[in-house]
Amino acid sequence: MDRSSARDLLIRYRSGDCTESERQLVESWILHGAAGPPDLSDVELLDDLLDIRLRLESSMRKQDLKATVFRRWLPYAAMLIFVVSAAIWTYSRMNSGKQGLRRETADVLPGGNTATLTLPDGSIVKLSDTQGGIVMGDEVKYTDGTTVPGTNGQSPGHGAGAATQNASAVSQRLTLAIPKGSTYRVTLPDGTRVWLNTASTLTYPSRFSDSERIVELAGEAYFEVSEIRAPVQRASGNSGPSRKVPFIVRTRSQSVEVLGTQFNIAAYADETAAKTTLVEGSVRVGAAQNTASAVLKPGQQSVVSGKQISVAEVDVAAYTSWKEGYFTFNGTELREAMRQLSRWYDVDVIYEGNIPPTPFYGKISRSNSLAGVLDILKEGNVHFRIENNGTAYRVIVMP
Amino acid sequence: MAEYSTYTDEVLVPLLQKGDKEAYAEIYNRYNGLLYIFAYNRLKDREEAKDIVHELFLRLWADHSRLAITGRLSVYLYTAVRNRIINLIAHQQVASRYIDSFLSYIGQADHQSADYLARYNDLQTFIQREISNLQPRTREIFELSRQSSLTRREIAEKLGISEETVKSHMHTALKLLKARLGNLFFMVF
C-alpha cells in the first residue's frame, strides 16, 4: 500500500465507506500502533489534565447559564413587575420625602467599598467608595494619597514623633465601620495594615503608646502587624536594649496578643465562636471569660467559644480569601455559609422544613450576584428562593 | 451524601442520563486521565489531545439525556475518543503526519488475518490492559489532578521542588478528596 491509498483508506474509514477488514485494520492501528506510557513529564501531564478541567468547568458554566437563563429570569421578571407596580403605587400615594422602596433591582448585587469613620469628636465621615482604604498618619489620607475631606484637625498627631508620650493622644479613639456588603482597608499609625470584612468595626487610637498597641474589633479582619520596637525604660542611660511593642486585638470573647505577624480574626456577634487564623509569626489568644490562652503557630487556628479554646491545623487560605474577594467554603456548614452570604448581600435567611447539616466546599467570587451564588450552592442538594417583601430581600432555604 | 466514588460505571450511567452532576463529575474523574493519555499517545500533540477530551466531556454533559450507552461506559468513551482521533487524522491537512505510522503498522499487520484483528480489537480487553499497565506514578498524577483546590502553580512547584513534598501533598489531597467527593465539584472564579 502506498501513501495515497493509505490516506484514501483513512478518509473512506471516516465516511464509513470501507470493508470490514479495512475497518479492523484502521481501528487496530489506532489501538495498538501507539502503545506504552506517554512521553510526558509528571508536570506536563498534570498541567494538561488541569487545563482540560479548567476549560471544561468554564465551558460548562457558560452552557448552564444559557440553559437556565429563562428559568432564572422568569421569577425575576415577575418580581420586577411586582416591584415596578409597587413603585408606581407607592409613588402615586406618597408625599415627597416619604420613604420609597429600598431597592429596585430584582437580584441582590454585591456591595463594594464603603465605610464610615467616626472621629474622636464624634463626627462621622463617610469614606469614598471609589477608594479602597485609608492611611492614618499626620493626616487621614486615602491610599492614593489624597486627604480624606472632613478629617482636618482630627488627625492623629501634628508633627509628633512616634516616641513622644502623650496620654491624651492615646485616648483619642477612632472607629472605622464597614456596612454589610463592603470591605475596607486601613493602615494604622504604626504601619499595621488591616483589611476589614463586611459588617465589621475597628476602633483604634489616633496614636499608639510605646507600651502597647490596642485595637478593638467586632466582626472580621485580617491583620498585617508591623513590628515596632521601643527602648526599654531604664533609670540610667538612653541607649539600652529595645523590646517589641505588643499589638493586642480585643473582641467580645477574646484578646489576641501579637508581636509582628499576619493573621485573620473572625469574631462576628452572630457566630458562636471567634476564630483566629495565623498566617505568619506567632500570636497568643486568650479567652475573655477566663484566663485560658493558647499560642498559635502558622497554619493553626484557634476557636474561642465561651471559656473554651481549641486549636487545630487549617487550610489558611480558606479563612483569608475574603480579602481577595472570595467566599471560600471548606467543609463549611450550610448555616455558617448562609450567615456569610447574609452579611455580604444584606439579606435575612429563613429556613423552611428539616434541612440536614450540609458541608460545602468551593471558592466563589464575591462579585457574583446573590442568585448566582445560590445557583452554585444548590449543587449541594439544598434549594433556595429569594423573596422580596417590598422593603428587604430574604433568602428561603428549603430541603 | 452518597459516595459516588464507590459506584460502578453501571450505576453511574443511568444517574448521568438523569442529569446527576455528581455522577458526571465522578465519570470525569475516572476517565479523563486515561482518555487524555490515549489521545496524546496517538496524536503526539498536547493541544489536540486536550481538545478531544474537553469536547468529549462537554458533549457528554450537554447530551446527557440523549446518550445511547448500551454497552460498557469505558467502551463508549474510548470509542468516542477513537472516532475523534480518526476524524482528526483523516483530515486532509494533517493526514500526512500519520501516514508513515499507519503504513508501517500495515506492514506488520499484513500477515495477520482479519479474524485475529477482530479479536485483537476487543476494546474491553484493551482498556483493561491499559488500566493495569498504568504506572503507579501516573495514577498519582490522576489523583492529584482531581484536587482542584490546589492551583496549577502550587502543584507544579511542588512536583518540581521535592518529591517528598509532593508525596505528602498527595497523601493529604487524597484524604481530603475522600471527604469531599459528592459536594461542590465546580469551582467558580
Which distant-in-sequence residues (6+ apart) come within 8 Å of A85 by Cβ?
none
One domain for residues A257 and A178? yes
Give the count of domains, chain A: 2
Query: Mean pLDDT over residues A33-42, rounded?
Result: 75
* Residues A86, A119: Cα–Cα separation, whole Å: 40
Same structural domain, A304 and A345: no
Question: Residue A331: beta bridge partners?
Answer: none
Residue of B nearest to A25 (CA): B117
pLDDT, tens digit, for every residue of A112-153? 678 889 888 888 888 887 777 898 888 888 888 888 888 865
Q: Which of B42, B92, B159 sits opposite A42 (nearest CB)?
A: B159
Specify if A142 maps to a domain: yes
A2: nearest CA partner in chain B: B103
Query: How does the average pLDDT of chain B come out, rounded?
Result: 74
Element (H, E) at B104: helix B92-109
CATH number for the domain that contains residue A298: 2.60.120.1440
Between these two residues, A68 and B62, which has the higher pLDDT value?
A: B62
Chain A to chain B Cβ contacts (< 8 Å): 183
CA-based R_g, chain A, Å: 29
> Which of A127-131, B124-128, B141-145 has the weakest average pLDDT?
B141-145
- Does A75 map to a domain? no
* Minimal C-alpha gap between A311 and chain B (Å): 19
Cβ neighbours of B36 in A, within 8 Å: 45, 48-49, 52
Q: Tell me the chain A residues in contact with residue B183 when contact means C-beta distances shorter than 8 Å.
A: 358-362, 379-380
Probe site for chain A from B117, B138, B161 (most A CB atoms < 10 A): B117
**What residues pair up with A177 in beta bridges, in sequence order?**
A116, A201
A367 and A315 both lie in a single domain: no
Give me the residue spans of the domains in chain B: 4-134, 136-189
B111 touches A at CB < 8 Å: no
CB contact set of B167 (below 8 Å; sequence gap of 6+): none
Does A263 reside within a domain? yes
* B171 CB neighbour count, 10 Å cutoff: 11
User: In this predicted structure, what is the pLDDT of residue B77?
Assistant: 94
- A251 and A329 housed in the same domain: no
Say if A214 falls within a structural domain: yes
Distance from CA of A73 to the nearest CA of B (A): 21
Q: Of A321, A350, A365, which residue is a domain's last? A: A321
State how far the Cα of B93 lies from the Cα of A266, in Å rounded to an integer. Answer: 60
**Residue carrying the nine cell digits 458526571:** B24
CA distance B111 to chain A (A): 12
Q: Among A13-17, A71-75, B138-142, name the one with the lowest average pLDDT.
A: A71-75
| A303 and A329 housed in the same domain | no
Given a contact cutoff of 8 angstroms between Cβ atoms, the answer to whether A151 and A139 are in contact is yes
Residue A259 belongs to what domain range?
A: 115-155+166-231+243-321
pLDDT above 70 coverage of chain A, percent:
80
What is d(CA A265, CA A279) in angstroms, rounded to the nearest whole number?
A: 11
Q: Which of A12-26, A155-169, A270-284, A357-371 ranks highest by mean pLDDT?
A: A270-284
Please write the tens of the pLDDT for every residue from B45-103. 888 899 999 999 988 988 888 888 888 899 999 999 998 888 888 776 666 778 878 88
Is residue B181 predicted with pLDDT exceeding 80? no
Q: Does B152 touch chain A (CB under 8 A)?
A: yes
Q: Flag the least confident range among A75-84, A140-149, A206-215, B108-117.
A: A75-84
A219-230, pLDDT tens digit by residue?
A: 999 999 988 888
Q: Is residue A352 classed as helix, strand or coil in its secondary structure?
A: coil
Same domain, A132 and A265: yes
Residue A52 lies in a domain: no
Which of A20, A21, A53, A381 would best serve as a mutation to test chain B binding (most B beta carbons within 10 A)?
A: A53
CA A46 to chain CA mean position, Å: 29
Q: Which residue has the higher pLDDT, B120 or A272?
A: A272
B61 Cβ under 8 Å from any chain A Cβ: yes
Q: Is B35 on the interface with A (CB under 8 A)?
A: no
Per-residue model confidence (pLDDT) at position B92: 61
User: Could you tell me the three cell numbers for A233?
Assistant: 525604660
Query: Is the domain of A380 the same as that of A262?
Result: no
Residue of chain A whose alpha carbon sits nearest to that of B47: A48
Query: How much is the pLDDT for B109?
Result: 65
Give DSSP secondary structure letters for B160-177.
HH-HHHHHHHHHHHHHHH
pLDDT at A109: 75
Q: Which residue, B55, B52, B56, B46, is CA-closest to B76? A: B56
B28 touching chain A per CB within 8 A: yes
Do A316 and A348 share a domain, yes or no?
A: no
Contact B114 A21 (CB under 8 A): yes
Q: How far apart are CA A254 and CA A311, in angstroms?
A: 14
Cβ(A136)–Cβ(A162) below 8 Å: no
Residue B32: which of A24, A43, A52 has the nearest Cβ?
A52
Question: B114 at the A interface (CB within 8 A)?
Answer: yes
Distances (CA, A) of A305 to A275, A342, B187: 9, 22, 31
Do A312 and A365 lie in a common domain?
A: no
Put simply, the answer to whether A10 touches B85 (Cβ < 8 Å) is no
> Mind telling me how many Å the CA of A11 is from chain B's nearest CA?
5
**Is the residue at A212 inside a domain?**
yes
**Residue in B33, B37, B121 nearest the CB of A27:** B121
Least Cα distance to A215 among A182, A187, A184 occurs for: A187
Residues A309-348: tens digit of each pLDDT:
999 988 888 888 888 888 888 778 888 889 999 888 888 8
Final residue before a domain boundary, out of A321, A352, A379: A321
Q: Write down the pLDDT at residue B155.
A: 54
A203 plus A280 within the same structural domain: yes
> Between chains, do A46 and B85 touch, taking CB under 8 Å as contact?
no
Considering only alpha carbons, which residue of chain A is nearest residue B86? A14
More confident residue, B126 or A189: A189
Domain B4-134 classification at class level:
mainly alpha
